[in-house]
Amino acid sequence: MRILASVVVSCFLALPCFAQTILKSEPLMLAPYEVAFVRDGACPSGKVLKVTGAIRGLHRRKACVALAGEQASLTTAMP
């Protein structure tokens, strides 16, 4: 019974981690293939900029994508 209770509690604690964070500016450092969502006004209303990090010598990939409200949480970016 204790194991079941601890599994249920850990699931509730892990759920907020699945939300994507939307930044206000593009990060300077981004690991290869790491994804950051940015709301800086470059995309139309209802969409955010999806920035994917690249290996040295290649450019980052940028695309405007729509996110569901449950998937995203707004935070302030630390430049």
Q: Where are the domains of the chain?
A: 19-74
Q: Which of 24, 30, 22, 79 is nearest to 59 (CA)?
A: 30
Burial 47-77 (b: 16+ CB within 10 A, else e): ebbbbebeeeeeeeeeeeeeeeeeeeeeeee
The answer, as to whether pTM is greater than 0.95, is no
Q: What is the pLDDT of residues 7-52, one digit of tens each?
A: 555 555 444 445 578 899 999 999 999 999 999 888 998 899 999 9
